[in-house]
Amino acid sequence: MKSYQSGSDIAVIGAGAAGSLTATRLLQHADRHRLRLDVWLIDPARENGRGPAYGTDDARHLLNVPAARMTAFAEDPDHFVHWLADRHPQHADHDAFVPRVLYGRYLAHVLDDTARRSAGARLHRVQARAIGTAHHDDSTLSFLLSSGRTLRVDAAVLALGNFAADCRWAPETLRTSHRFVASPWSPDALCAVPPGADVLLVGTGLTMADMTLSLQRPGRTVIAVSRSGLLPQPHASEPLPQSPPPVVAGPPGLDAFRRTVLTHLSRSRRAHGDWRPGFDSLRPLTTDLWRRLPPADRTRFLKEHLRLWEVHRHRMPPPTAAAVRQARELGQLRIVSGHLTDAAVTGEGVRVRLSTGTTLDVGAVVNCTGSRSDVGSLDDPFLHSLFKTGLARPHATGLGLGATRDGRLLSAPGRGDVRAPLWALGSLLRGELLETTAIPEIRVQADGIAASAVALLKRDEHPQRHRGLFASP
């Protein structure tokens, strides 16, 4: 019979992809190390593993990574494809870009299945939002929940994910109007769009592509505007060969970084007739390249190069790219480089003026500007509370939280080297890692954080059990 150490409690705040994968890995590591662990998974959402990315039930919204690279477990590369083969065999193809709704179901299944099999670790799902940190000392962390209860634990992982898109660019008359779709990934968000009316999408990235597919119909023109007017590049329609990564040497500045990348992409074009294998081979090196940059060069990269980087890095699945191309050819989608300068809400819709001098009459304006990571300026009570109690601080770049490379949060400046047993993953690590928002990175982070947390909890015994969910005093 197995013998288990006395118990510990850990909170995972956020039950999107990152939180669900972290909870899964915590259960596995705790079992492997015979640690009796209570995992508290906190999220106002009803279901696990969804979040804005995998919460859509529009089957035209596809994963932007082929199925072969979307496994939950890096050590079992075929896990997702096998899951598809069992349940959705028509999608069980390593190179397919499958509907995102299926991926949300997969992640929820992986967590449920792990929790069911777990011998000594237990999963508690709490449907609430963390709204504050109540109190912490050397051995516990306490979180206030929107339900009015307090959760006291030995350690915690923040998996807060994609924060709502910025709306500050929209004039107040538009922002406060029912014709403005602030968060296109909210359930039923597009119900605000009058049938048949033209629509303005602000942003020309992957969200714009998905919204175009959802809104496209005969007689409607969708206009998409962004300052750069750049669209995400398409994935190649056929799988491409793998390319070896470049050798990184020389000085660590942005100019050297650019030279390394451009030379490597030219080599890839010469060798494979395509820049994509070269770009993909940069992926394991990106964090190192990023961390080598002096702070001023990081700021310059974010200002001058990030958009170009992202349109090559986060590409459109071929079916989406084909549908977008066709919509443009049919005149159902127009892309404009510019920005919105004025908007007036009328009885019939919105009259919008663009920086190009064009005036448009549309039925609705949809915010496709993508999620925010500038945590210091977000109006989020939980983040404010983390900063106020000194448990966390914004990253020096302004993106995400200050953290070590493996996700352990740095406390507020002036508090010495105090590091609470608190980790973050996913987009909260953007400033530190740059490449951190997609599943291939998140699954590795989830595993690493779970291993570190279990090792820490196993080291420190918790004989006095005053942990768990309490009514707030």
Ligand X SMILES: Cc1cc2nc3c(=O)[nH]c(=O)nc-3n(C[C@H](O)[C@H](O)[C@H](O)COP(=O)(O)OP(=O)(O)OC[C@H]3O[C@@H](n4cnc5c(N)ncnc54)[C@H](O)[C@@H]3O)c2cc1C
Contacts with ligand X, residue ranges (CB under 6 A): 13-19, 42-45, 51-53, 63-65, 100, 129-130, 159-162, 185, 207, 371, 382, 426-427, 437-439
Q: How far is the CB of 170 from ligand X (least distance, A)?
A: 19
Choice between 100 and 136, CB closer to ligand X: 100
Sequence-distant (6+) residues with CB within 8 A of 202 are 169, 170, 224, 225, 226, 340, 365, 366, 367, 368, 369
Q: How far is the CB of 337 from ligand X (least distance, A)?
A: 23
Biggest distance spanned by C-alpha atoms of the chain: 76
Q: How far is the CB of 456 from ligand X (least distance, A)?
A: 22
Burial class (CB in 10 A: 0-12, 13-18, 19+), 468: middle
Q: How far is the CB of 283 from ligand X (least distance, A)?
A: 12
In the block, tokens 């069911």 appear at 116
Rounded distance between C-alpha atoms, residue 6 and residue 28, angstroms: 17
Q: How far is the CB of 80 from ligand X (least distance, A)?
A: 11
Q: CB of 455 within 8 A of CB of 34?
A: no
Q: How far is the CB of 45 from ligand X (least distance, A)?
A: 5
Positive or negative torsion for Cα 86, 88, 94, 98: negative
Report the Cα–Cα distance between both ends of the chain, in Å, rounded: 40
Rounded distance between C-alpha atoms, residue 463 and residue 376, angstroms: 38
Choice between 132 and 349, CB closer to ligand X: 132
Q: How far is the CB of 166 from ligand X (least distance, A)?
A: 14
- Could you give the residue ranges of the DSSP H alpha helices within 143-221? 172-175, 206-215
Q: Which residue is nearest to ligand X (CB)?
A: 51
Q: How far is the CB of 317 from ligand X (least distance, A)?
A: 8
Choice between 37 and 126, CB closer to ligand X: 126
Rounded distance between C-alpha atoms, residue 289 and residue 256, angstroms: 10
Burial class (CB in 10 A: 0-12, 13-18, 19+), 344: middle
Rounded distance between C-alpha atoms, residue 86 and residue 59, angstroms: 19
Positive or negative torsion for Cα 378, 384, 387, 392: negative
Choice between 154 and 435, CB closer to ligand X: 435
